C-alpha cells in the first residue's frame, strides 16, 4: 500500500521533466494519475512508463492557459475516477530573456498566461471537485524565482511570485474545508526547459548552487509527494525550496 493509495491526482505539464517525475512517483505510491500536457506524444509516453511499472494513469490533453481546457480536464478526471484528491499544477515555460524596459509584450502575455493564470484556472476547477471529494492537497510549482529576482526574466519572476502568493490565499480560504495548498521552489533543474542553454550557461548556473550542480527532477518530485500526502497534514500555505542551497546566499 502506497501513501497515496485510493487517491486520484492531476499533474499538469506531466509530459516531461519535473511533471513526469511527479506523475511517476504519485503512481508508484498508489494514486490514479491523470497526466495532462499540451504535447500528446510526451504525455502518452509518461502514461506508458507508469503502466509498464504497474501503475494506473490516463492522458488528457489540456492547455493550462485555457480556462475551458482546465474545466474539461477536471470534468474528465471525475468521469473516469469519480473523485479528485490531489493536484500538482506544474505546467510552465521560461519565456524570453530581456531587460524589463525591452521585454517583448507578447512574451510577457504568454508567460503570465501559462505560469500564473494557468495555475489559477487549474485551481478554479480543481477546488470545487476536491470539496465534493472530501478535501485534498494542491501543490503549485513556483521556483526559487518566486522568492528572489533574476535579471532579464521579469515575466517569469512576476508569475512565480504570484503563484506563491495565490497559494497562500488558498490555504486561508479553504483550510477549514480540508484542502491544503503549498508551493514548491525548485532551483535550476536538469529538464527540457534548459535544453537551449549552451554549456557555458549551464556551468554558470551550476556555480550558483552551493551544492555544485543542477537539481534532478526526481529530487523535486520527492518533496511534491510529501506535500501531497497525509504526512504533511499540518502543512499549508507555505513555500518550500528545493534548491541546492541557492537561496542561502
Residues annotated as catalytic (active site), given as ranges: 156
53 is written with which cell numbers?
A: 511499472
Q: Which residues pair with 249 in a beta bridge?
A: none
Report the number of secondary-structure helices (H) and strands (E) in the chain. Answer: 8, 7
Instruction: For residues 130 and 123, give the distance between their C-alpha atoms in angstroms, rounded to a whole number.
Output: 10
- What φ, ψ does residue 117 adopt, rounded to 5°? -60, -35
Name the CA dihedral angle for 162, 168, 170, 176, rounded to a multiple of 10 degrees. 180
Contact partners, residue 81, CB within 8 Å, separation at least 6: 8, 32, 34
Buried b (16+ CB within 10 A) or exposed e, 212-225: eebbebebbbebbb
Instruction: For residues 176 and 179, give the distance between their C-alpha atoms in angstroms, rounded to a whole number.
Output: 7
- What φ, ψ does residue 187 adopt, rounded to 5°? -80, -150
Amino acid at each position: 500500500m502506497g501513501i497515496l493509495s485510493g487517491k486520484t491526482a492531476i499533474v499538469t505539464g506531466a509530459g516531461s521533466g519535473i511533471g513526469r517525475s511527479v506523475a511517476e512517483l504519485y503512481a508508484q505510491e498508489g494514486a490514479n494519475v491523470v497526466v495532462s500536457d499540451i504535447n500528446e506524444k510526451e504525455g502518452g509516453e509518461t502514461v506508458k512508463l507508469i503502466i509498464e511499472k504497474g501503475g494506473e494513469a490516463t492522458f488528457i490533453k489540456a492547455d493550462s492557459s485555457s480556462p475551458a481546457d482546465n474545466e474539461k480536464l477536471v470534468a474528465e478526471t471525475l468521469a473516469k475516477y469519480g473523485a479528485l484528491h490531489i493536484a500538482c499544477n506544474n505546467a510552465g515555460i521560461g519565456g524570453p530573456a530581456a531587460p524589463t524596459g525591452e521585454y517583448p509584450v507578447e512574451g510577457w502575455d504568454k508567460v503570465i498566461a501559462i505560469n500564473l493564470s494557468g495555475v489559477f484556472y487549474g485551481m478554479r476547477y480543481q477546488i470545487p471537485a476536491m470539496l465534493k471529494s472530501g478535501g485534498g492537497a494542491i501543490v503549485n510549482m513556483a521556483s526559487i524565482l518566486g522568492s528572489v529576482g533574476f535579471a532579464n526574466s521579469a515575466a517569469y519572476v512576476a508569475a512565480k511570485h504570484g503563484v506563491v502568493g495565490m497559494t497562500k490565499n488558498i490555504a486561508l480560504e479553504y483550510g477549514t474545508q480540508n484542502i491544503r495548498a503549498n508551493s514548491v521552489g525548485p532551483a535550476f533543474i536538469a529538464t527540457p526547459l534548459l535544453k537551449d542553454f549552451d554549456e557555458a550557461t549551464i556551468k554558470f548556473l551550476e556555480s550558483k548552487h552551493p551544492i555544485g550542480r543542477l537539481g534532478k527532477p526526481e529530487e523535486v518530485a520527492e518533496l511534491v509527494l510529501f506535500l501531497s500526502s497525509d504526512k504533511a497534514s499540518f502543512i499549508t500555505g507555505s513555500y518550500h525550496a528545493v534548491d541546492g542551497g541557492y537561496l542561502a546566499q
